[in-house]
Amino acid sequence: MSETLQQLAEVLEQRKQADPESSYVAGLYAKGLDAILKKIGEEATETVMAAKDGDAEKIIYETADLWFHSLVLLAQQDLHPDDVLQELQRRFGLSGLAEKAARRTNG
């Protein structure tokens, strides 16, 4: 995992103990799952709109926000970015169509 991702995961974990009045992330944790999911939805929409506008700088900025809030969700659920990276590694080299079909038969 990248050093930046590891550092961010550590900070997000620490924010679980922080004062919601002094930390944006602690405030999200205090508001609960629905607030985190709402932020992910907002950031996903903003990412889509940036892509529709074809603005590379905005796409990067909004994707960073989307990834950040997704990492907040992982931490809130006591999951780690490594869990997602391991899943991506598992899928690497597989046909996306075959992997998707396997999820339908297993799920």
Q: CA dist 8 to 88, 92, 100, 103, Å?
A: 19, 24, 30, 30
Degrees, nearest 5: CA angle 23-19-14: 75
CB 66 within 8 A of CB 50: no
Instruction: Give the pLDDT confidence of 37-81 residue by residue, as tens digits.
Output: 999 999 999 999 999 999 999 999 999 999 999 999 999 999 999
Q: Produce one character per residue of 22-59: b if its CB has 16 or more CB atoms within 10 Å, e if not.
A: ebebbebbeeeeeebeebbeebbebbeebeeeeeeeeb
Q: CA dist 66 to 37, 39, 90, 96, Å?
A: 11, 8, 23, 23
Minimum mean pLDDT among 11-15, 23-27, 32-36, 86-90: which range? 86-90
> Looking at the whole model, is its pTM more than 0.95?
no
